[in-house]
Amino acid sequence: MIPHRGANAHLAGIWEANRDSDQCGRDIAAVYIVDAADRAALPVATDELHELMDKPTLEGIPLLVLGNKSDLPNKLSVDELIDAMDLKSITHREVSCYGISAKEETNLDAVLHWLIAKASR
């Protein structure tokens, strides 16, 4: 799982170190979580995501982008998130995007079903 670092830029290499250690077995997906209600942070999150998707270690791995805080009135819709993050330009892999609310537990079942489907391949 790759959360948008935002103010936690000191976490920059942690996910890669864990990924490269091969502790988790085979990779089933890259999950990138952004705050769908924080429009100001999206350009940085978008740049980070596109940079990550260019990494050879993630080549071909399906991508799931989760827009958290879908319970807030000022959140981006899934279509707006897809456009704002230029997800359609990410090719050579399956890309999915869901709006979720960790607080309200909205759409978490869909995320689990998506992950289970990828794990069973």
CATH domain 2-119 topology: Rossmann fold (3.40.50)
Is position 69 annotated in a ligand binding site? yes
Q: How confident is the model at residue 50 (pLDDT cuts 50, 70, 90)?
A: very high
Give the confidence band of 121 by pLDDT, cuts at 50, 70, 90.
confident
pLDDT of residue 6: 53
Average pLDDT over residues 51-74: 94
101 assigned to a ligand binding site: no
Residue 38 among known ligand-binding residues: no
Nearest Cα to Cα of residue 68 among 120, 96, 105: 105
11-37 confidence digits (pLDDT tens): 444 445 444 544 455 678 999 999 999
Token pair belonging to 58: 């993630």
Longest dimension (CA), the chain: 40
- pLDDT tens-place string over residues 70-104: 999 999 999 999 999 999 999 999 999 999 999 99
Residue ranges of domains in the chain = 2-119
- For 35-41, what is the mean pLDDT? 96
Q: How many CA atoms lie within 13 A of 81 on its CB side?
A: 28
pTM over 0.95: no
User: Is 8 marked as a binding-site residue?
Assistant: no
